[in-house]
Structure 1
Amino acid sequence: VERDLDARMPRTRNRPFVAGRFRAGAGWLVTILALLAAAVLLAAVVANGWAALYVFLGAVTYGVVYTVWLKRRTWLNIVVGGLSGSFAVLAGAAAVDPAMGAGPLLLAVVLFLWTPPHFWSLSMALREDYAAAGVPMLPVVVGNPLCAKVVFAHTLALSLLALLPALAGMGRIYLSAALVGGIWFTLESWWLVVRPSRRQAMRNFVASLGQLLLLLLGAIADRWLAGAA
């Protein structure tokens, strides 16, 4: 779907379809649809219908709504695309208990807020690549200095919201992880406002990954300890 874009960007021009290691054709579309159907069916059989629905919505949101429809059209592409991460959280939670509580719902919102500053940080570092490919990521549209301020605002809201699951069933391990990850990501985002350079954008990108890793590990550890007790 994105072979033409990948060919214009140094970061992606060696991907298999662009480099000619794989040949594009209808067979790939059939394969992708078959894999999606298998994943949805497996979720329905092993878990339940709600989990299957969220798996389907996550795949369609990322593969069709974001990649095919929005990515080339608007800087809001990744804002809407962030829903795919939220559906992944909801699918996992529904597989355990379809009547999910406030905790999984809050985590889904956290993933939704996490996605834009994560990808905008990367696109700030690779702004020239996205501009050359004609992809209207936020830094391409408004420039890195203004984008850095938007990233900081998103990160601050994200870091505060990420504390709320601790009030909805998550324990002290999650709260500690959310505090550490939130402070780390927020500080790096502040420095991105001060110096919106490629190097700092990559530091912020890494911090976003670190925050998400801490949040997920904290949530898993709390649930595991609760089950062991």
Structure 2
Amino acid sequence: MTLTEIHHELFKDFCTLKNKLIYCKKDFQRKVLKASHYPLTYSYECYTKVKKNLFNIRFTAIKRSGRKNPSVAVYGLYNRPEGIYAATLSLEEHRTTIYPPHFFKRYRERIENDFVSSNKDIIKRYFATDWGYAFSIINKEIEAVYHSFENKSTDDKVGFVCVTSAGYCFGEAHGDNIFIMKTIVSEDMLFDSQKEVFSNLRKDFIKVSKELYGINIPN
């Protein structure tokens, strides 16, 4: 399947969970009413009936009144011969961000340092602390950082870099609504001179995480 076909297939499959989504939202609203601390986040795992794809739906309410219109984050899993892929669905923008097996291989090695857990557990752990990202278009200096860690041919291009709660991700855009996350590096892996390149991007991410989700990301 092409990336465009995968994009359409995932959104089409997710739409079959409409009734389940309504149930999960009502259940989350009840949890918010009973909660004593905020923000409150809760995730639900749902399998589609026909395709049997697994979707994780995460609701977040910054405060009690947020139960009426909680933020919703969705990611799904699908299998290819090379391994398990994850894809986040941005419902309002109808946008898909795809994470190939190589991305989670690097996340396992560089961030978690965990060579025992299953691939699904590693993926679940990544998204449990995923509060979106702030991104910037690649320049030559940033692209050089990517190649210094991936040791790939200069023909292997990346189009953007973004900061997440886990680290710095490099990726490539395919059209206006499909993005591929290629790899991730940790803050500790960067030299001081490289950290300066990403400092403003991280400040933007911390600000957005606080405003949208009430999450305090460490500097």
TM range, smaller chain:
under 0.3
Larger proportion of helix: 1
Normalized against structure 1, the TM-score is what?
Answer: 0.26
Which of structures 1 and 2 has the bigger CA Rg? 1
TM-score where L is the length of structure 2: 0.27
Higher strand share: 2
Query: Which one scores higher on RCO, CA 8 angstroms, separation ≥ 6?
Result: 1
